[in-house]
A and B are shown apart, each in its own frame.
Chain A
Amino acid sequence: MNQVMRLKVPEGRKAVEAYRTAHTALHNKPWHRGIPEEHTPPLNKLLGGLKEQDFNSLAEFFGASEELNIQELGFNSRSELRAEIDRLNQGAEYSVILLYASDFEWSGVEVSREDEPFELRIPIDTPGARTLREALKQKWI
């Protein structure tokens, strides 16, 4: 991310915050028909604000914003951040969930023996990994 983009993302965040404020105000009114449509003017204003910062869509802006968050943590991409979390979690304890084949119809995982449970091992974050995740969550989104 170049220096120009580093300046544009904070401006885009201001536009998003303005939309969120308008959104809150909209829903503070008693419920009435037409609320979904009333989102559109502030949303268009948001899109106009992002366009001024050369972001052509919400997805483009939020992608750049996340990239800035990750770079501020010292990584170049989300995958690099995840690799670091995995590295920190090597040797970590796992919580194990026992799932049967019927539980896995949705997972895409091939389970050959329906009578034996499948172990889903979910790592329990080490302190280092937990710190990294929490640091990311503290970032603006």
Chain B
Amino acid sequence: MDLVRRETCAEYFRRRLAEGWNCIHLKGHNAVLLSPEGFRRELDLRGDTLTLRPNADGYYTFWKLSGGTDHYALVDEATPDEDATYIYRDDNIYGKDSFTFPASGSPEGIILKVTAFMRVKNIGIHPDWNAGKLFVRISGTDYFGSWEPFPASYTNKSHEWAINPATSSAWTWNAIDALEVGIHKGTITDEIRITQVYVEVDYTTVTEKSSSDTGSGIDAKASGNPLATYSRSETGSGVEAKASGNPLATLSGAETGSGVDVLYSLETPEAKASDDAGSGVEGTPVQSAILAGSETGSGIEALIARLLVAVDTGYGVEAGDVEVEDLLKDLFASELGQGSDSLTAKIEMPTKGGGMKLWN
């Protein structure tokens, strides 16, 4: 496991199970994991998880060390080494310690939440009393989680921030890269140890639309950066375009109206199958299925319908020919026959000297 570990949520899910966690709930893409110590972790299996581990001491270094000189070095291990290496405070005084993290690499995707984890134990005189709280430090300000009791044996404690508390808006990768995470010890308890610290960043990624997906719009990603992001809860219509940067366009699932949906249908027409209802050209994808505002019907049928004159009858090629070829429109009402027969009937050869007349 690296200082920066990027996993899909499914990979994260499997890793946690291999580490002894249990899945206590799984419905659709939502899972709930339970750690061996009883820590509960909710997971959206559609997303990815980035795990960050400390790479340097942060702004606060007020805790004591089990050895060495670097605070972060005692809490950065991938697998907790418990009392082998740890930081601690053994007095009745407030105290903070904090850590920085390596660059995230700014993966593509929208950050859903940031969760800070610490593996702590409290061997003080009141293990049942609230002993400390996690915090994130952003641009020189500390934003705290809630006070919690820390048990007498090592336990994972966490606090999650769904949004950046400094901006009250969604997290950005720049904010993640500048993040510090720390622990704030209260005065009641006289000894707390921390053996492991890490941060998990849950984020969504853009994936190509599969045939089993529902909804319309530009779900598909052709290549490279997310060309389009499709979320399902927004309202509004049309293409909510970005002028620059990626993603360029975002289309929401609950939208009504046309817009990108129609464009998408034009760009990727579907062949009509024989068992589809309605008439038209089967099995031939075309790009001409544009409806005018007042037209009803859909697809090729409507196009053909527009080419028909009101009094014309018939379908398909015959009717089209009737309209396009003006000569064929000159049929007399009393003439019999249709199409080429009638045309032939109209031709009159010049006759001289009692020649042949083709009227018959």
Contacts and interface: CB of A to CB of B under 8 A. Distances in A.
A74 interface: no
Contacts of B92: 97, 120, 122
What is the predominant secondary structure among interface residues of chain A facing chain B?
A: helix
A62 B125 CA distance: 19
Contacts of A40: 1, 77-79
Contact of A120 (B4, B66, B78, B187): B187
A79 to B, nearest CB: 10
B187 A43 contact: no
Best-buried of B1, B53, B129, B153 by chain A (most CB within 10 Å): B1
A20 B77 CA distance: 12
Interface stretch (B82-90, B292-300, B316-324): B82-90
A23 B79 CA distance: 13
A62 B76 CA distance: 20
A36 B187 CA distance: 32
Given A20-B67, A107-B130, A120-B187, A36 B82 contact: no
B45 interface: no
B55 interface: yes
Contacts of A97: 92, 187
A91 interface: no
B51 to A, nearest CB: 9
A43 B187 CA distance: 33
Contacts of A46: 81, 84
A109 B187 CA distance: 13
Interface in B116-138: 123, 125, 128-130, 133
Given A36-B76, A97-B187, A105 B81 contact: no
Given A33-B2, A36-B77, A59 B84 contact: no
A24 B67 contact: yes
Interface string A17-61: 001100110010001011111011001001000000000001100
Contacts of A37: 1-2, 78
A120 B190 CA distance: 13
Contact of B53 (A36, A120, A141): A36
Contact count band on B: 35 or more
B217 to A, nearest CB: 38
B3 A36 contact: yes
Contact of A107 (B82, B102, B186): B186
Contacts of A99: 187
A59 B82 contact: yes
Contacts of B39: none
B154 A59 contact: yes
Contacts of A6: none
A20 B85 contact: yes
Contacts of B2: 33-34, 36-37
B68 A27 contact: yes
B315 interface: no
A129 to B, nearest CB: 13
B189 to A, nearest CB: 10
A62 B68 contact: no
Contacts of B73: 23, 27
A20 B65 CA distance: 13
B188 interface: yes
Contact of B85 (A23, A33, A35, A122): A23
Contacts of A23: 67, 73, 81, 84-85
Contact of A36 (B68, B78, B153): B78
Contact of A108 (B4, B67, B77, B129): B129
Given A33-B102, A106-B133, A106-B147, A62 B82 contact: yes
B81 A34 contact: no
B70 interface: yes
B70 A27 contact: yes
B1 A107 contact: no
A16 interface: yes
A121 to B, nearest CB: 10
A39 B149 CA distance: 29
Nearest to B125: A82
Given A23-B81, A33-B3, 15 more contacts: A19-B84, A23-B85, A27-B68, A27-B73, A31-B55, A35-B76, A36-B3, A43-B79, A59-B82, A106-B146, A106-B186, A107-B186, A108-B128, A120-B92, A120-B188
21 contacts: A16-B84, A23-B67, A34-B2, A34-B3, A35-B3, A35-B76, A36-B1, A36-B3, A39-B81, A40-B79, A43-B77, A46-B84, A58-B82, A58-B84, A62-B82, A97-B187, A106-B186, A107-B130, A107-B186, A108-B130, A109-B129
